Amino acid sequence: MEIITKSYTNKNKTMKTLIETIIENLEQRSNEAFDDREKRTLNNATEMIKRVEKEAEFEEIARIMMKYLCENHDPHVSVIITSTHAELLEGLKSTGEVLDYVLD
């Protein structure tokens, strides 16, 4: 099976997660708010997002990537994610599942 990989690294910039970007934007808006009620609302939203992220299950996190793949790539693309690296792969050929050599 031939595999094409794309590896995205940016050594000059620390990349943020989507949640980190949302929280940062809410905190900035809260700091710029003139009204105390608006500040409380934004701070409550920020805390709720932090709590949801902390309590997220594996499947919920995985579904984010599944949705991204379905909306942005063809069905032959997959992703491998480790704690330090993410790789986008495109399968050009496949044998399918071969169990002939698997010992029971």
Residue range 64-78, pLDDT digits in tens: 999 999 999 998 899
Rounded Cα gap, residues 28 and 21, in angstroms: 11
Domain ranges across the chain:
3-91
- Tell me which amino acid residue 49 is: I
Whole-number pLDDT of residue 12: 57
User: pTM score, two decimals?
Assistant: 0.56
| Residue recorded with tokens 């940016």 | 10
Residue range 7-50, pLDDT digits in tens: 455 555 667 888 888 889 999 999 998 899 999 999 999 999 88
Question: For 78, phi and psi rounded to 5 degrees?
Answer: -135, 170
Residue range 49-60, pLDDT digits in tens: 888 888 888 888
Residue 91: pLDDT over 90: no
Tell me which DSSP letter residue 24 carries.
H
